[in-house]
Amino acid sequence: MTTINHRVTLARRPTGEATADCFALESEQLAKLEAGQVRVKVEYISIDAALRTMLYGEGYHRQFGVGDTIGSTGVGRVIDSASPEWEVGQAVRGRLGAQTFATVGPKDIAAVDENLGPLSAHLGALGGTTGLTAWIGVRNIGKPLPGETFVVSGAAGGVGSIAGQIAKIDGARVIGIAGGPEKATFLVDTLGFDEAIDYKHEDVGERLRELAPDGLNVFFDNVGGDILDAALDNIALRARVVICGAISQYDDMSAVTGPSMYLRLAERQSRMEGFALFHFKESYAQATAELAGWLADGSLVSPEDIMEGLERFPEALEFMFSGGNVGKLMVHATPPA
């Protein structure tokens, strides 16, 4: 039986926003597997802000060449195997790419335990770029103590929504920053945050002074830019500022705007520390176990925003950068009609 793969490729490098015309949807006939190869039917594709930084041709993150399949993380099932390490039907996660079928080496994928959650959860609450990243940023970097004020930007997104909930589990008072009244309501009513700030309609610095007159003890930043400055201007003595991401800066990495309020760190004996997931491999097992336990007992809500159809991948990336998604954004990799 002939297998046709559909894939999203980089058609041209974006200047400014990564719009739909930067990508192409291509089809190809897949050859028979070579010895050692594994073929995976991709089910869900992760949409991550860091993907935008991989389209430049050079940079800190791995880069995609023009014509390459966009190398997103995905989950799926093995449908054919020429490797003794993998059996047909196994659920796996890896850099499967924005495509309907991935042909990979045996070391390019990892098994996922569906007893811990459905396939999509292994990109969301149990996923490296989402749940594990949030856990590591909170537990290994921010380390909020009971009663401390923890503020997170991008709070309605995949990482932010989970980071805030972990801080709440750890006993902190949690304030989320997100765009729009619906998201602000969602943070408080659904995720259990103590307060929410709508950056689209409220002055973030002014609201932080109102809600945290004694200052922020931990700021978990996914946005950068003006919101990072507003938070720095309101940190408490010995605060911890966690740099997880800076989505406001990713459209032009050649002109990143750094914080103008960084001297608050010296004035208030505070620190700002960045991290990436792979810096903390030793934490993966504990993070996964705790996240799975919270999912099972209902302590953690894992919102998902799923777009149907591989052809919507470019739309999903634009949707994320416009602040449209609530929770973990994914594409269900069904073939184009």
List the one residue out of 132, 144, 109, 142 whose CA is nearest residue 36. Answer: 109
Q: Which residue has the tokens 């960045």?
A: 274
13-47 as b/e: b if 16+ CB within 10 A: ebeeebeeebbebeeeeeeeeeeebbbbebbbbbb
User: Can you give the pLDDT of all 337 residues of the chain as single tens digits?
Assistant: 568 999 999 999 998 889 999 999 999 999 999 999 999 999 999 999 989 889 887 766 689 999 999 999 999 999 999 999 999 999 999 999 999 999 999 999 999 999 999 999 999 999 999 999 999 999 999 999 999 999 999 999 999 999 999 999 999 999 999 999 999 999 999 999 999 999 999 999 999 999 999 999 999 999 999 999 999 999 999 999 999 999 998 888 778 888 999 999 999 999 999 999 999 999 999 999 999 999 999 999 999 999 999 999 999 999 999 888 999 999 999 998 7
pLDDT for residue 56: 80
pTM for this one?
0.94
- Domains of the chain plus CATH, in order, are 4-124+303-332 (3.90.180.10), 128-279 (3.40.50.720)
Burial class (CB within 10 angstroms; exposed 0-12, middle 13-18, buried 19+) of 289: exposed
